Amino acid sequence: MRLPKIKQHQTVVLPVQSISPNPNQPRKNFDEESLRQLAQSIREIGLLQPVIVTRTDQGSYLLIAGERRYRAALLAEQDKIPAIIRQVDKRHSAIIALTENLQREDLTYFEEALAYASLMNDYHFTQMEIAKMVGKQQSTISNKIRLLSLPEEIRDLLTGHHLTERHARALLSLPSPSLQKDVIERIIKEGFNIQQTEKFIASLTAAPEGAEKSPPSQKASSPCKTYLSSLKRVFGSIKKSTSLAEFKETDKGDFIEVRIRIPKDEAKTASVT
């Protein structure tokens, strides 16, 4: 049986089974203990704040905001739930779901980043449009999305051990997933705070002694920086066993020239010089 049409924005009581979860819900993890507590509260005094839904073409309802309340109502075995009906398209329902979670600070930084990426990829929002709708700087949106370049395994380690967004950002400066994994495992093992983490990563990516730095006004491109960091780490190992090794980096405008000199016979070279 099709449900009767209901006036837009009207607060009504709907059968819980007539509501479907929103596939665009940015929040992926819900604390089970918190849900049980809310379910107990709903059993005793009911749900005080309505969920927000939109009517589908099939006559049922799609949840836009309030999934935690919806899940708790299911857990409390409620037959009906108060709801506010809004007629919005999929693009705006995704924005509403994201904004509600941001206002409640319910999202992890990776969930937030994934939500922004989904808005861009699935609904063709620009970073500037998203920034305006959620009240953030465009650079904030961009920096969040950059976190998604970390492999999923690394993201799981970060969230599973309750490490901060600054821990995640520090890992972005490392040139390879294998090194990122080694570093995150060291961070977890040693219990590094963010300052210790940043210092440790800086020591891995620092230029070796004797390397010529590029002029500060001329910045290398991102892939170039990655390759240079890898070369410098390798040279750092060489330098430990061959003290007379030399590393020279010169900015040639369109490219970076790197020269590494490794003496065949350190004792002989030392006596000549």
- Determine the CATH number of domain 1-88: 3.90.1530.30
Mapping DSSP to helix (H, G, I), strand (E, B) and coil, where does residue 257 land?
strand
Q: Residue 204 pLDDT > 60, yes or no?
A: yes
- Per-residue pLDDT band for 18 (boundaries 50, 70, 90) equals very high
Enumerate the CATH 3.90.1530.30 domain ranges in the chain, comma separated: 1-88
Among 54-68, 201-215, 233-247, the range with the most confident prediction by mean pLDDT is 54-68
Report the C-alpha gap between 224 and 253 in whole angstroms.
Answer: 13
Residue 35 DSSP label: H
Identify which has the larger pLDDT, 86 or 208. Answer: 86
27-40 residue pLDDT tens: 777 778 888 888 99
Phi, psi of 27 (to 5 degrees): -80, 120
Identify which has the larger pLDDT, 90 or 172. Answer: 172
Q: What is the mean pLDDT of residues 230-250?
A: 76
Residues identified as active-site: 67
Q: What pLDDT score does 58 carry?
A: 84
Half-sphere exposure of 27 (CA within 13 A, CB side): 22
Handedness of CA 7, 13, 17, 19 (dihedral sign): positive
For residue 236, CA distances in Å to 200, 204, 247 come to 15, 9, 9
124-182 residue pLDDT tens: 889 999 898 888 899 999 999 999 999 999 999 999 999 999 999 999 999 899 999 99
Q: Residue 3 pLDDT > 60, yes or no?
A: no
CA angle 191, 226, 154 (to 5 degrees): 35
- Per-residue pLDDT band for 209 (boundaries 50, 70, 90) equals low
